[in-house]
A and B are shown apart, each in its own frame.
Chain A
């Protein structure tokens, strides 16, 4: 089992969701986050004065999957979120030792699916 965490551009979320649904991944957790990577923020002007915004709005997507879903999930996220410009985001893949479904007490692969 793997936990896939992806940081993406907020306005690409609908596209990513669509791609995930296409490969049958329907379960996810989405959080609004602030962060900065290589893009290093942008500047707004407010009443004529420049206002530098360093931490950008991003979306964090967390998806727990069984092994055979890892590759399709990564592909789907990449396909949905990629524009080719700085700021598209990153995907982190981590081992997931345990997973328990609260309602039934199921564990492991059954609980994820």
Chain B
């Protein structure tokens, strides 16, 4: 995924050289070495600025998740969702700072990192790259953490969720991250050392599938909301209370994703544009494909499915955004948009797992598809960024696809199994589910003693 930040991009040299020559001409007129040093310094600063801006964009995705999850669930649980989103990021930030960052990016013992906790190594250098990198990685960890709250909406004890928030950012996310991304700093994991290194540029698996599979484990341990399945086991719709908020959330996520994917270059150069294009094309294709699929299946263009489709396109392109052509990104998004609708129906009606916002389908399933698509569509040579194409469809053979399968499988096993253990331990200790009465009255009033819409009469239409 990320390129080494200090590496200089050829495309950006002319402009910077011109600026430096202009600014520094009296001093360094004939001093090529000094010029090169100044250019390098400027590029380094540009990298830091771009990576920070991208991190701020990714942080804003928290707002997107909060709105999507609130909108897709009922009014009586709105405060609970907002609190979970606020706390999984806040607790996650602290957990990642104290433990996660070191486990993920410290010098690795083969299984996880063992140094760099609390980025102590950066002290003494006021502009150390690790500050920027920590922030960028923290918002990524926060994204993985917040995926789970939607799937567990409407029935989880708030206290149980707080415990979960600590463990994902302190342990589950960073350990897998160290296998795939450790080498971006001081670590190095086994997935990076495969014959064809596992390719997950911005985290279809590392961030989204990990969150999605944890969400699956959580939803299974919790069981469905009261009234979700009738006595014959038929699925019933529990309507989201504000699809306008959900739509706002999806637009915010789409916006933030430009930072998520393009920012993962961590280099301020011309590649930002390319990655932004593949990201946008895939999201658009995902929304269109999901709308058409829903239109065919349900006879109406279902807005909630189209919104899920845009997210599916975004999650799918997250791994291959750097290494596929724009044309391939359209295909990847289209498949993601179809897959997400079918997956939502399959999980709801066949597996009978209650996932109120479709988090498992969007992040888990489409994350897996996006990661696998690297093995099919990687076209480094076509794009001019490598010597050989890795993708099967571009004549790269099956090596990359095999690595992708190994990574996807490892991600599923790690997140789903640790998730099952974690949620069962929580269930056995503090308890994971509220009482039936609390669930029926709503978590806002029973868990938080407040209402989201004080002064409004929310009509109960169930």
Q: Let me know if A10 and B445 touch, CB within 8 A.
A: no
Interface size of A by CB at 8 A reads 13
**B residues less than 8 Å from A10 (CB atoms):** 460
Binary CB contact string for chain B from 423 to 462 against chain A (1 if under 8 A, 0 otherwise)? 0000000000000010011100100011100100111101
Contact of B460 among A13, A46, A83 (CB under 8 A): A13
Known: A11-B441, A13-B462, A14-B227. A44 touches B450 (CB 8 A): yes
Give Cα A10–Cα B440 distance, bound, in whole angstroms. 9
CB distance from A79 to the nearest CB of B (A): 16
**B residues less than 8 Å from A59 (CB atoms):** 460
**A residues less than 8 Å from B462 (CB atoms):** 13-14
CB distance from B211 to the nearest CB of A (A): 31
Give Cα A46–Cα B444 distance, bound, in whole angstroms. 12
CB distance from B319 to the nearest CB of A (A): 43
Give Cα A32–Cα B449 distance, bound, in whole angstroms. 21
A47 to chain B: closest residue by CB: B450
Q: A5-21: which have CB < 8 Å to B?
A: 10-14
CB distance from A33 to the nearest CB of B (A): 9
Contact of B445 among A13, A34, A44, A83 (CB under 8 A): A44
Does chain B have a CB within 8 A of A57?
yes
**A residues less than 8 Å from B459 (CB atoms):** 32
**B residues less than 8 Å from A57 (CB atoms):** 457
Prevailing SS type, chain B contact patch: loop
Known: A11-B440, A11-B441. A44 touches B449 (CB 8 A): yes
**A residues less than 8 Å from B437 (CB atoms):** 11, 83
**B residues less than 8 Å from A104 (CB atoms):** none
CB distance from A43 to the nearest CB of B (A): 8
Does chain B have a CB within 8 A of A45?
yes
**A residues less than 8 Å from B458 (CB atoms):** 32
Q: Let me know if B460 and A45 touch, CB within 8 A.
A: no
Q: Let me know if A32 and B457 touch, CB within 8 A.
A: yes
A45 to chain B: closest residue by CB: B449
**A residues less than 8 Å from B441 (CB atoms):** 11
Q: Let me know if B440 and A46 touch, CB within 8 A.
A: no
Binary CB contact string for chain A from 24 to 64 against chain B (1 if under 8 A, 0 otherwise)? 00000000101000000000111000000000010100000
**A residues less than 8 Å from B454 (CB atoms):** 46
Give Cα A106–Cα B454 distance, bound, in whole angstroms. 44
Binary CB contact string for chain A from 53 to 84 against chain B (1 if under 8 A, 0 otherwise)? 00001010000000000000000000000010
**A residues less than 8 Å from B445 (CB atoms):** 44
B226 to chain A: closest residue by CB: A14
Q: Let me know if B450 and A45 touch, CB within 8 A.
A: yes
Taking Cβ atoms with an 8 Å cutoff, the residues of B that contact A are 227, 437, 440-442, 445, 449-451, 454, 457-460, 462
* Beyond known contacts A11-B440, A11-B460, A14-B462: 15 more, CB 8 A cutoff: A10-B460, A11-B437, A11-B441, A12-B440, A13-B460, A14-B227, A32-B458, A32-B459, A32-B460, A44-B450, A44-B451, A45-B449, A45-B450, A46-B454, A83-B437
The 6 closest A-B pairs by CB, nearest first: A11-B440, A10-B460, A45-B449, A32-B457, A44-B449, A14-B462
List, sorted by A's number, 17 A–B pairs whose CB atoms are closer than 8 Å: A10-B460, A11-B440, A11-B442, A12-B440, A13-B460, A13-B462, A14-B227, A14-B462, A32-B458, A32-B459, A34-B457, A44-B445, A44-B450, A45-B449, A46-B450, A46-B454, A83-B437
